[in-house]
A and B are shown apart, each in its own frame.
Chain A
Amino acid sequence: MFTQDHARAISKKLGCTSREGRAHQYADLFEGGKLVASFGIRRASKQVGHGHIPKDLHLTQKQCWELHDCSMSKEAYLHHLRGKNLV
């Protein structure tokens, strides 16, 4: 289960910009000056589910864990987005 800790780790790895929102803190990924992906991190004292993150990052669950676990680098992730014409 993805939690806010996983979300923050991914945000840090991708070098995302942080943005405050109503119910979430957002992690925005800019590439070439353009926003290419964004995901919300819930504000909660305990660890809560963030099952939406893979969809927000245009990844499968497995790929998203790979991104978190370092087996997928930021470059590999951007390459993945380019392959989908999302960059």
Chain B
Amino acid sequence: MTESTKRTLFLPDTPPSPPGPLQYIHGTAQVRAGVHGGFVESYSILDSDYDVLLTQHAVGEKWALVNESEFLLQERTVRIDPGDYVQELQQHLRAAFGYTERISSLCVRLESTEATLCTVLKKLDRTASYQRPLWVPIESFAPEPYELTKPITLVVSPSDDGFEASFYDGELHASGETEGEAISNLKALILDTFEAFERLGEERLGPAPLRQWKILKTLIRRTGT
């Protein structure tokens, strides 16, 4: 493992005088610094063995010459393992690239989350407007030749792919793509069931159909042929 020496130059807080372009040469190091109103604005190191630490910054336009005693506050010698330095640099580069990739990944995830959120909000809106069951009073089977002895209430609620209308007293249910279609299908189902049960007769009805028939025959009456 090779070791090298690196020195750090500490610049003074106080301005060099007079203001203007400055150049400092110390041993093998050449340092240029910009000053404005005496404060160091920027610097460049011509000798890579030196690292310069600035203590104050200001926007400057002029350059000033300073002598060594004004410019160099103190000099420190540190021992640096070049291998460690390279490794540290690699780590910094990896971290920087990793950070960029992570930000990119986060942006993609954010966009995806945003799209999902929009979909969920739309569904919520739709659900809020659809979820409430509709109570629909039925007073007639016109133009079918049947009449109701008293109005019945159908309940229409959204289902997988449309709507479902139910006549709970008669244990009868029908589906439709719209509320209207579901109601129309259920009204047809009620009359079809009434006719089928009437044709079969009570002796051929099992427990559930018999119960349905007893309800239907109290509600429905034939008006014509």
Report the contact-size class of chain A (Cβ under 8 Å from the partner). Answer: 20 to 34
In the complex, chain A residues whose CB is within 8 Å of the CB of B206: 31, 34-37, 86-87
For the complex, give the distance between the alpha carbons of A34 and B210 in Å: 10
From B193, which residue of chain A is reached at the shortest CB distance?
A: A38
In the complex, chain B residues whose CB is within 8 Å of the CB of A50: 175
Q: Given contacts A24-B192, A26-B192, are A51 and B159 in contact (CB under 8 A)?
A: yes
Contact of B65 with A by CB under 8 A: no
Contact of B128 with A by CB under 8 A: no
What is the distance, in angstroms, from A85's C-beta to the closest C-beta of chain B?
A: 6
Contact of B188 with A by CB under 8 A: yes
A35 touches B184 (CB 8 A): no
B160 touches A51 (CB 8 A): yes
In the complex, chain A residues whose CB is within 8 Å of the CB of B174: 23-24, 40, 52
B188 touches A22 (CB 8 A): yes
Q: Given contacts A48-B161, A49-B159, are A26 and B196 in contact (CB under 8 A)?
A: yes
Contact of A5 with B by CB under 8 A: no
In the complex, chain A residues whose CB is within 8 Å of the CB of B189: 21, 23-24, 40
Report the contact-size class of chain B (Cβ under 8 Å from the partner). Answer: 20 to 34
Contact of A69 with B by CB under 8 A: no
In the complex, chain B residues whose CB is within 8 Å of the CB of A37: 206, 208-209
In the complex, chain A residues whose CB is within 8 Å of the CB of B36: none
Beyond A1-B161, A49-B162, A52-B175, 13 additional contacts (C-beta under 8 Å) are A2-B160, A26-B192, A26-B196, A34-B206, A48-B161, A49-B164, A51-B162, A52-B164, A52-B166, A55-B171, A55-B173, A86-B206, A86-B207
Which residues from chain B sit less than 8 Å from chain A, CB to CB?
Answer: 159-162, 164, 166, 171, 173-175, 177, 184-185, 188-189, 191-193, 196-197, 200, 204-209
Kindly list the 8 A-B residue pairs having the minimum CB-CB distance in the complex, ordered from nearest: A21-B192, A52-B173, A51-B159, A36-B206, A49-B161, A22-B188, A1-B160, A23-B188
Which residues from chain A sit less than 8 Å from chain B, CB to CB?
Answer: 1-2, 19, 21-24, 26, 28, 30-31, 33-38, 40, 42, 48-52, 55-56, 58, 85-87
